[in-house]
Amino acid sequence: MAVDADELPRLLLIDDDPSSLRLAAGILGSDYTLIFATCGRDALDLVAETPELILLDYQLPDIDGLEVCRRFKADPASADIPVIFITADQDPVLEAAGLEAGAVDFVTKPYSAAVLRARVRTHILLKRKTDLLARLAHLDGLTNVANRRSFDQILEKEWRRAQRSGRPVSLVMIDADHFKDVNDAWGHQMGDECLRGIAHLAASQIRRPADLLARYGGEEFVLLLPETDAHGARQLAEAIRAGIESGFAQPAKQGEGPALTASLGCATLIPSPGDRPETLVQLADRNLYLAKSNGRNRVEPAEDTP
């Protein structure tokens, strides 16, 4: 497999027999970074090192290999890591139980080095393709920020978290002004460049890992700001508005371009049990409408409200 030596895929090898581990290491060691575990308990700890694939022996001294596999699959942090069982006997009942437990494949001892290499490589490639597809499914193709589907899912999650914590959650809606005129005067491609510029500028303003910028649709973006009060949301919205007005969202390669501005609507709520996240979106949308009708290139509410 053509891989960068600095980025060798990580494999977790779980076997209580040191000679089996040595054998597998001799076959796989030059293509992969290997992590070793000799019992189930160590394996359950070491999976935190995010291997891309797990080779798991059936017989372990403490926790049965099948049970280890089930626990990997039950934990969202490790559920997507493919597991290949290594087994000494070719027992179809055991094989079926392993597949039931979530394994993707089987290798029977004694195995051929070429077969082990090929199976590992196949499952690593499949895992990488699956990961890539999962990432793409959550990204907006034009601007590379999160898409609407991703926003909807994360909003639900953050809303529930805010309901539990009693902390505020804020939302900022950003809508380019007179964008139809931008497209009409400068062409659709320039319009696309401007949308990329707005996304880039807004992304550069967010500071916390939990903040999420998403393209809500068309020329509209949303910023989800967990644990952020109305003052914090307004400050961020104002920084984005000012940045766009100052030309920082302009397509860089153009000497001149459309004079871009945007209107922004903010909303902040501390959700009670039973409240729905759509309420937050509606409130931000109402304030965005207010920003448009009050002259555009502005943030609403214009002042902090108690």
Ligand X SMILES: Nc1nc2c(ncn2[C@@H]2O[C@H](COP(=O)(O)OP(=O)(O)OP(=O)(O)O)[C@@H](O)[C@H]2O)c(=O)[nH]1
- Residues labelled as active-site residues: 219
Structure tokens at 213: 């910028």
Binding residue (CB under 6 A) for ligand X from 102, 109, 292, 301 = 292
Question: By Cβ distance, which residue is nearest to ligand X?
Answer: 191
CA 12 to CA 44: how far, in whole Å? 10
Question: Which residues inside 125-144 make contact with ligand X, applying CB under 6 A?
Answer: 142
Question: Which residues inside 182-201 make contact with ligand X, applying CB under 6 A?
Answer: 183, 188, 191-192, 195
CA 207 to CA 204: how far, in whole Å? 8
Shortest Å, Cβ 27 to ligand X:
50
Binding residue (CB under 6 A) for ligand X from 18, 26, 218, 247 = 218
Nearer to ligand X, 180 or 208 (CB): 180
CA 37 to CA 20: how far, in whole Å? 12
Residue 171: what are its φ and ψ, rounded to 5°? Answer: -135, 135
CB of 175 within 8 A of CB of 219? yes
Write the binding mask 234 to 273 for ligand X: x where contact by CB under 6 A, - elsewhere. ----------------------------------------
Side-chain-side CA neighbours of 156 within 13 Å: the count stands at 5
Nearer to ligand X, 106 or 186 (CB): 186
CB proximity list for 19: less than 8 A, separation 6 or greater:
none
Torsion of CA 236, 241, 246, 247, to 10 degrees: 110
Q: How far is CA 297 from the centre of its chain?
A: 31
Write the binding mask 161 to 180 for ligand X: x where contact by CB under 6 A, - elsewhere. --------------xxxxxx
Q: Does 74 bind ligand X (CB under 6 A)?
A: no
Task: Give the interface with ligand X as residue ranges (CB under 6 A).
Answer: 142, 175-180, 183, 188, 191-192, 195, 218-219, 292, 296
